[in-house]
Structure formats: C-alpha cells, structure tokens
Structure 1
Amino acid sequence: MERKKQPVDLAERTKSTAPLKKELDGLLKGIKRYQKQRYAFWESVVGEKIAKVAMPIKNKKGVLFVKVEDAVWRFELTKRKDEIIEKVNLHLKKNTIKDIVFI
C-alpha cells in the first residue's frame, strides 16, 4: 500500500522557518559584536584602511587567525606579517602572538 505525499504549502513552510532565521540572524550579530569587542585594538594597530578588509577571528596557541577580504590584501598583509605581529604584541604589552595566518 503506497502512501501519497501531501503537497507542501511553501507559504506555511516559510512562516515556520521565519522565527529560526530571526534567531540565527540575532546570534550572528551577537558573535560579530563579540569579535569586534574582543579585537577592538585591531584598528588602532593596523589602521582604519586595513581594519576594513581584515578582521581577527581567533587566537589559538599564539597564532592569530585573520579573515581577509580578498587575495590581494592577503598577499599584502602576508608581506607585512612580522611588522603586524610586533605591533600587536607591543599593544598587548606581551609577546602573545607568535604567528598570523591570513585566511
């Protein structure tokens, strides 16, 4: 005995996912706000222009992972990595950062 599939009402389906989307959007905004607060020093270290295209996302065992907008900036920042590490450590007043990975 074969069961017939009930037609899906897309309007109803969209309504049921709307609260989830709202919750996820709120969660993502909260994460971004937290990252900005955690790495608030970043703009003062690298400058406004670089801070607009590159943002630290995590620090794991002395390696700072920085999300970069595009490959051109990633290349430029890689060339300046040692300088940026030095500035970050000066700002933090300790040698916390040993390496930076631009992703």
Structure 2
Amino acid sequence: MATLQGLEDAGRITGRLEKATQEFIDEFKDGRDESPMADFIYASMLTLAQNVDVQNMKGREISRNMTSLLGYIEQLKELYGDSDDGDDELASLVEDSKA
C-alpha cells in the first residue's frame, strides 16, 4: 500500500545521534560540491546513527557502529580534501552518542 507523500516517517522517533548526524551532514555539505560518493556516505551515516540510537535504547554495544560512523567522517574529509582535522565535530558526535 502506498504511503501518502510526506508521511513516510510518521510516528518514527528520531534519536539523539541521528539528529546530531543530520546536523553534521547539513553543516558539512554547506558550500561543497555534490558527489554521488558523498551522498552514499551521508545515507550510510544516517543509517548507522539510527542503528546506534536503537542499540542504545536496548542497552546494546555500539562501538563497532560508532567506529564505522567515524570512519565515514574520515572518508568525507579525504573525499573533499579537508585540511581541518574536525576534532571538535568528532568529539561532539561521540558525546551525543553516549547520552
């Protein structure tokens, strides 16, 4: 059955890490050229963040997903040749995932 446009995510709870990841992506994308590889990484990051939020709610271990998520951030930096090491952004993302 088809879903009404705009209601695809109705009732779905957006967790803290997913929100933080979306904010990171929005800020990171600002002023950069679009790239299919970057779009893939952004989508993967959001999926991982959603998984971490669910795992946190269930009291499960998240370190492998967090390592993957942080690895995607490094791949984005390499893809765009960022010279900024992004320590503040990484630290913020990790802190948001702990709460």
Larger RCO (CA within 8 A; separation ≥ 6): 2
Same-fold status (TM-score > 0.5): no
| Structure with the bigger percentage of strand | 1
| Structure with the bigger percentage of helix | 2
- TM-score normalised by L of structure 2: 0.32
